[in-house]
Structure 1
Amino acid sequence: MEDKKKIFGVKSIRTKLILIMIGMLGFTLAAIWFMNRIFLPAYYQHSKVSMLEKCYGSTNSIINNDSQYKSGESSTLSDESTLNLEILSENNTSNVYVFRLNNFFGKVYYQYDYPSENVITQYQKEDVIDKTKDYVIGIEDTQSFAVKDKKRQLMSLTDNYSVYKVMDERIGSYYIELFGKLDSGAFVYVSTNYQSMAENIGIFNSFLLYVGIGVIVFGVVIMVFIGNNFTKPIRQLTKIAQKMADFDFEIRYPVKSDDEIGALGSSINTLSENLEEKISELKTANNELKKDIEKKTQIDEMRKEFLSNVSHELKTPIALIQGYAEGLQDNINDDTESREFYCEVIIDEADKMNKMVKKLLTLNQIEFGNNQVSFEHFDIVQVLRSVINSALLLAEQKQAVITMDEHEPVYVWADEYMIEEVVTNYVSNAINHVDGEKKINVSLVKHDGVVRISVFNTGKCIPEDELDKIWIKFYKVDKARTREYGGSGIGLSIVKAIMESMNQKFGVINHDDGVEFWFELDTQN
């Protein structure tokens, strides 16, 4: 609702444009009305005076160009001059009279050259005499065209003519007249109607009001249409900006023009792409930071756990070594057999501690990337047989049998030393936990560019809820049995670290009669 108020309210650009247009039209109409009221009468009057002055000049030129009339060869104007004067009179909506004054026995007579004597009517003659008699008297008395009369208002005065605005009391309206002397010696009288400007201005302003209302209504409709087209891309860009504020950078503005809106849309699109890229980089960096924090936390936890587990695992052998060493020192048993037994226990426990420390160092190097993986192309079958041969003696002591089918050489890509460590841990783990039929089987299965190596031993299954825990350092499913063969719970952790360092799969599967440990290696480059 608030967005709609912004779109359709005073804050809307479209509404502002409409109000500005209405204001400009209203101001223009008011200005026109004021100009008409104040300046139009004076301009109209000036135009009329200028028109009469042009009529004088044109009449003088027409008479001067009539060579026969000017030289006195003819007492009347030529047909061409008469036609030109008629055209001049009609085009300027004025009455033009050209005449000469003759004085017979002290009385002035009018001799009309235009209109000619046979054309001008008696009414026209009387009207011309009535309107020019003051000028004629003035000519005879003062040789000037000045007329002192309250009914006449002087508009223009030169040596050749004078222009007056005259009130015609008979019809109750004004007219403008020019009386002057031509170069040929003839006189010219030109008159034109001067309408009441107050009435004309009122009519014009009324018409202007109606036209203005129509223009404003039509302009509002046009501006609504233009405003919609103008503000539509702006509203679209606003929505895009809002989406960007909500971290949604999928939407893009369709640039269809090369104007400012198109340039703004292109900039918004570029900004959206850059923001999306930068935010993606920030998220990646933030994710890496979280991983680093989690890794640091894990390292701290691993350190604490490591110290706790090592302390626990070393406590028993150290106590045994210390006890038996003190027994030797105190000569508890003087016979040779007892001393040898004490020494064997000390050596055995020290050997276990040594092996555990070595395994911990190996695991530490692998987990922290200090032991770099060196990929080689080698025969995994040969590695398996070598490990099996080394474990045969220990298997015989457990009365277990290790079997492996005959295989052609199978070449894999991996770190040979590390893979040998994995196989050794799997086989040793199988020997230590074999039971029942006491069978151990090592097998290979190739599929989809990899080979799966499995070590199966008969015996008890691992509880399902502990299958994921056996890969944790120092974790022991059967602690009594592990203590029996001297296990530390580190071997499978080493397997996990090695396989993860080479990005290979590994795992454990429970069967009805035993447990299968497996891992996979690439056979293709």
Structure 2
Amino acid sequence: MIQKFSHSLRMKITLIILLIISLLLLSIGILNNFGLRWFYQNEKVSEIKKAYLKIDNEVMKIGSLGQPIIDESSKESVINESLKNIIMDYSNKYNITIALVDSLTNKAIYSSAREGDGLISRIQDGFIGNQKQNILYSNGNYTIILHQTMQKTSFIEGFGYCSDNQTIVIMSTPVASLKESVSISNRFLIYMAIIGFIITVILTFIIAKMITNPILELADISNKMGKLDFTAKYAGNRSDEIQTLGQNMNYMSDRLEKAIYELQEANELLKEDIKRKEAIDEMRKDFIANVSHELKTPIALIQGYAEGLNEGLCEDEESRKYYTEVILDESEKMNKMVKQLLTLSSLESGNSILHKENFNLTSLIESVLGSISILIGEKNVNIEFDSDKEIFLNADEFKIEEVVTNYISNSIHHVRDSGEIKINVSDDGENITFSVYNTGNPIPEKDLNNIWEKFFKVDKAHSRAYGGSGIGLSIVKAIVEAHNGTVAVRNILDGVEFSFKIPKA
């Protein structure tokens, strides 16, 4: 399509320019053939008129000085040099034969040609003997005609009196050679037209190419823009409308590229929002299902044991005490889970306020270990922790204690009997890292990234062996991230390691 456009546009420009040149050359030929004779004739008439006026003025000037052109006593010409110069000047410059004749004697006073008397006789015959001559100009005193002799020779001739009514002015210039001049001029124009036409064709092609190339470039750019390819830019360096058009197309290309990029970004964000909404809906469904599952068992136990008490199944004190302890225990679990959910919601929404202070993390870990020493004794595990190095952290001590407690409690719940737990704290100058390792079964690799989700348990049956609700690690992650930190878990050696890293300041 672009190539077709190229040929069409170049052909049109070439044909238009060639047509204009052809019409111009044809017009010049027609004017030369038919107008040159008229122009030449008018120029000669004009020259004869000017010569007559100058001669008439000079004759009257001579008369005013009392110097007659004809001496009455000798009847000889006494024409002065000034008049002779005028006559010879026009004769030599414009090829006009001029003769002054005395009207009384009908003899030549002065002539620019040797055959002055013959000229007088021929012109008189032309004016007097042939009344059908073509009169070119006449003002009463002087008449100019186009005279053709018997030999088919043409002259432009003038005949008339000066203002002294005595001196006759006769002028003649040949026009027979004009036809030959026109013919030669026409042949010359034909040759020039052929050469000019060839040059015009070449120049027209070059000019058409100069005009169409940037247009084709712009057409190609617009074609690419239509295909959303904005890499092509107009790189011309002109100073005309095409340059302006190219710059505008570059500007439009940049704006379109930016607009489409922003639209794509908006579409990506929209897709992410849709995915996020779908994920939130899925999380909401899972949350409701998990909460329902977690609450179903304690509620059923509370309901069952409460009905047993109500129906008097526990007659002895020991049975009633057992029933009430179960009810209290399940109520406490429900209460703990609700509190954890409220804490997690507060952390995730950003409404939880951190009360940061500088505290000794080593001392906090020792305190946690002391509070769960009974569990440690039941498991018969060996705990390694270097309590001699003091590590200070600027954070919310209460919330960090909750994180440490969760990590250590989980390690105790999942460590093998007579196993090993290693607790380590380090300071690299910028971050404080806390890690807990316990020997035991590794976490399946596919579950490593999911354990931080609410209600997620590696035990798909949601076992109540350890009384966990599946919310603890979600709270841990929310607390650490609120401190601009990160959590991690990995399977190493013969066990699992949980850790977190928090900036010191």
Asked whether the two chains share a fold, i.e. TM above 0.5, the reply is yes
Structure 2 CA distance for aligned equivalents of residues 448 and 20 of structure 1: 83
Structure 2 CA distance for aligned equivalents of residues 416 and 197 of structure 1: 122
**2:118 partner letter:** E
Q: 1:259 to 1:133 in 2, by over 3 A?
A: closer
Mean CA deviation greater in 69-78 or 434-443: 69-78
The aligned residue for residue 265 of structure 1 is: 246
Any conservation in 1 of the 2:376–2:412 contact (CA below 8 Å)? yes
Q: Within 5 A, what are the aligned runs for 1:482-497?
A: 482-497=463-478
SS at structure 1 position matched to 2:502: strand
The aligned residue for residue 143 of structure 1 is: none
Q: Within 5 A, what are the aligned runs for 1:152-167?
A: 152-167=133-148
Any conservation in 1 of the 2:2–2:216 contact (CA below 8 Å)? no
Structure 1 CA distance for aligned equivalents of residues 197 and 445 of structure 2: 86
**Selected match of 1:426 from 391, 400, 407:** 407
The aligned residue for residue 46 of structure 1 is: 42
Structure 2 CA distance for aligned equivalents of residues 64 and 273 of structure 1: 87
Any conservation in 2 of the 1:373–1:502 contact (CA below 8 Å)? no
**Selected match of 2:80 from 78, 81, 105:** 78
**Selected match of 2:277 from 296, 320, 329:** 296
Any conservation in 1 of the 2:356–2:396 contact (CA below 8 Å)? yes
Any conservation in 2 of the 1:450–1:520 contact (CA below 8 Å)? yes
Structure 2 CA distance for aligned equivalents of residues 207 and 475 of structure 1: 105
**1:82 partner letter:** K
Any conservation in 2 of the 1:373–1:415 contact (CA below 8 Å)? no
Q: Within 5 A, what are the aligned runs for 1:170-319?
A: 170=151, 172-184=152-164, 185-195=166-176, 201=182, 203-254=184-235, 256-319=237-300
- Per-residue CA shift, 1:241-277, capped at 9, x if unaligned? 3343333444443463443233333323332333333
**2:89 partner letter:** I
- Per-residue CA shift, 1:143-196, capped at 9, x if unaligned? xxxx6433x2222222211111111222x2321110111234221111111237
Any conservation in 2 of the 1:76–1:113 contact (CA below 8 Å)? no
The aligned residue for residue 129 of structure 1 is: 121
Runs (5+) with no aligned partner, structure 1: 104-108, 139-146
**1:47 partner letter:** E
Structure 2 CA distance for aligned equivalents of residues 429 and 165 of structure 1: 134
- Per-residue CA shift, 1:40-91, capped at 9, x if unaligned? 4433332222222122122223444555754767833233432332111111
State the TM-score, normalized to the length of structure 2: 0.87
Q: 1:442 to 1:157 in 2, by over 3 A?
A: same
Matched, 1:410 2:412: no
SS at structure 1 position matched to 2:289: helix
SS at structure 2 position matched to 1:484: coil
**Selected match of 1:112 from 109, 114, 132:** 109
Matched, 1:6 2:5: yes
Structure 2 CA distance for aligned equivalents of residues 358 and 348 of structure 1: 15
Deviation at residue 488 of structure 1 after TM alignment = 1.7
SS at structure 1 position matched to 2:140: coil
SS at structure 2 position matched to 1:445: strand
Structure 1 CA distance for aligned equivalents of residues 352 and 226 of structure 2: 46
Structure 2 CA distance for aligned equivalents of residues 153 and 182 of structure 1: 22
Deviation at residue 211 of structure 1 after TM alignment = 2.5
**Selected match of 1:28 from 8, 24, 30:** 24
Once superposed, what is the RMSD of the aligned Cα atoms?
A: 3.0
Identity of aligned residues (%): 37
Any conservation in 1 of the 2:2–2:219 contact (CA below 8 Å)? no
**2:47 partner letter:** M
Any conservation in 2 of the 1:244–1:272 contact (CA below 8 Å)? yes
SS at structure 1 position matched to 2:464: helix
Structure 1 CA distance for aligned equivalents of residues 426 and 99 of structure 2: 132
Q: 1:523 to 1:63 in 2, by over 3 A?
A: farther
Q: 1:290 to 1:50 in 2, by over 3 A?
A: same
SS at structure 1 position matched to 2:332: helix
Structure 1 CA distance for aligned equivalents of residues 324 and 37 of structure 2: 139
Q: 1:382 to 1:45 in 2, by over 3 A?
A: farther
Mean CA deviation greater in 341-350 or 435-444: 435-444
SS at structure 1 position matched to 2:56: helix
Structure 2 CA distance for aligned equivalents of residues 16 and 502 of structure 1: 75
Q: 1:214 to 1:451 in 2, by over 3 A?
A: farther
SS at structure 2 position matched to 1:483: coil
**Selected match of 2:329 from 323, 348, 373:** 348
Q: 1:92 to 1:417 in 2, by over 3 A?
A: farther
**1:317 partner letter:** P
Deviation at residue 199 of structure 1 after TM alignment = 5.8
